[in-house]
Chains A and B, each alone.
Chain A
Amino acid sequence: MSPVTRGFHGRRREEDRTDRVPPGQYVTSDFPVLSAGPTPHTKEQDWTFAIRRGGQELKSWTWSELHELPTEQVTADIHCVTRWSKLDTRWQAVSIDTLLGQVQNDDRYVLAFCDGGYTTNLPMQDVTGGRAWVAFGYGDEPLAPEHGGPARLLVPHLYFWKSAKWVRGLDLLDRDEPGFWENYGYHMYGDPWREQRYAGD
């Protein structure tokens, strides 16, 4: 039972009370930026997306090859572990199903890797089945560098640190390995509806 903080009433905003907003989150119309280091500026002509296993590249796509694949318009609510949620964000993206469909695999986990050294881990079943994308457009614009451009992962059903910015590929793994924030005490899975913010939640 939490102690009452004397004199605190809070502001119960209608927009925070919809069943689309997970516990402990509030709705923002901004698009806050969070990152651990400088924003990389990889040029589109130097960008590739690779799928690897055990250090071996299985398949990779250049920027133009990625754009030859079917592009989906994705509308999704996103939830940051720092407690903001943003509803109805619109993205242009290629489904991870499309990419993994070109590679033989029965792996159980992936570790996304990025420019700048960032990584994050995800179960295979969370990046397949139409639930994860490589996104390169936001709104009707190219994805801005501070938001992860030229391309980021988009996995909106998990806390947004799993939607790795500046993504360059996936390592296929048979066991779960912590990524960057997961190594620093954040949750291995990160389901906002179960408030899995930190290890042990």
Chain B
Amino acid sequence: MAGTALRGRLTWQEATVAEVITETATARTIELSVPDWAGHKAGQHLDVRLTAEDGYSAERSYSIASAPGEPVAITVQRLEDGEVSPYLTDDLRPGDELELRGPIGGYFIWDGEPEPVLLLAGGSGVVPLRAMLRHRQRIVSSTPARLVYSARSLADVIYRSELDGYGTEVIYTLTKQQPPGWTGHVGRVNAALLGEVAWLPDQHPIAFVCGPTAFVEAVAEGLVMLGYPPGRVKTERFGGAGG
């Protein structure tokens, strides 16, 4: 495997909230101003630390939503019983301060390679994949890319207008609720849908799969059945599990 160089200590840095963008009823993109950010790659994540007045603190990991070269941003999906995500989605506002460290992770990344890319998102698992699509756009890459996005309903789709504006094929499948007249896919990503949309193995594609466990397990296994070498199917569970 091509490991990245071991790096020095990842130190906590102070970050200021620059902007909070409403993506859906329960998801917010938080743009951060981080003076000494060393840069990141598409697909990496970071750790966030929030500290209360009495010194109590809580940490969580989030995928980075912005492309390399852009200011750091994360997109947070509110988890009803979470400790951190409801604060981030409901209470945080520009000017607030928090700490972060990163970037973290060097396996689930896309760096502009030419082989066709298949992105498969379950729910808020779209976040690191969005960073990849933004990166592809910014570097004017001609790498063929497709996004398969499984969401509960159209209202739960994060970044919808942005994704539809990339000129990349985006295949939605809605698992719980479809709008009247919906002609797209319905239900979970299955072997038939994968067979329809996946690049052929002889094109040496690479797949990035991110979402909840059941989604990731089913999709990764489906791609292996289609003939994708396991090493060309990279998986990630969405960040913030439990939080």
Binding site for B on A (CB under 8 A): 2-13, 24, 26, 28, 30, 32-40, 82-84, 116-117, 146, 178, 180, 183-185, 198-201
B10 and A2 within 8 A (CB): no
- Tell me which of A3, A7, A10, A82 contacts B99 (CB under 8 A): A3
Q: A185–B59 Cα gap in the complex (Å)?
A: 19
Q: In the complex, which residues of chain A have a beta carbon less than 8 angstroms from the beta carbon of B230? A: 37-38, 40, 116-117
A-B contacts, CB under 8 A, total: 132
* Residue interface bits B86-130, CB-to-A below 8 A is 1, else 0: 010001100011110000111110000000000000000000000
Give the interface segment out of B153-161, B173-181, B192-200, B216-224.
B216-224
Binding site for A on B (CB under 8 A): 1, 3-4, 6-10, 12, 14, 49-53, 56-61, 83, 87, 91-92, 96-99, 104-108, 213, 216-217, 220-221, 223-224, 230-231, 233-237, 239, 241-243
B97 and A10 within 8 A (CB): no
Q: A38-B230, A198-B104 are in contact. Are A10 and B6 (CB under 8 A)?
A: no
B98 and A10 within 8 A (CB): no
Shortest CB-to-CB span from B41 to chain A, Å, is 11
Q: In the complex, which residues of chain A have a beta carbon less than 8 angstroms from the beta carbon of B233? A: 37-38
Q: A31–B98 Cα gap in the complex (Å)?
A: 29
B242 and A30 within 8 A (CB): yes
**Sample of 13 more A-B contacts, CB < 8 Å, known A10-B56, A33-B217:** A2-B12, A2-B99, A3-B14, A7-B96, A11-B83, A36-B108, A36-B234, A39-B220, A117-B1, A178-B3, A184-B107, A199-B9, A200-B9
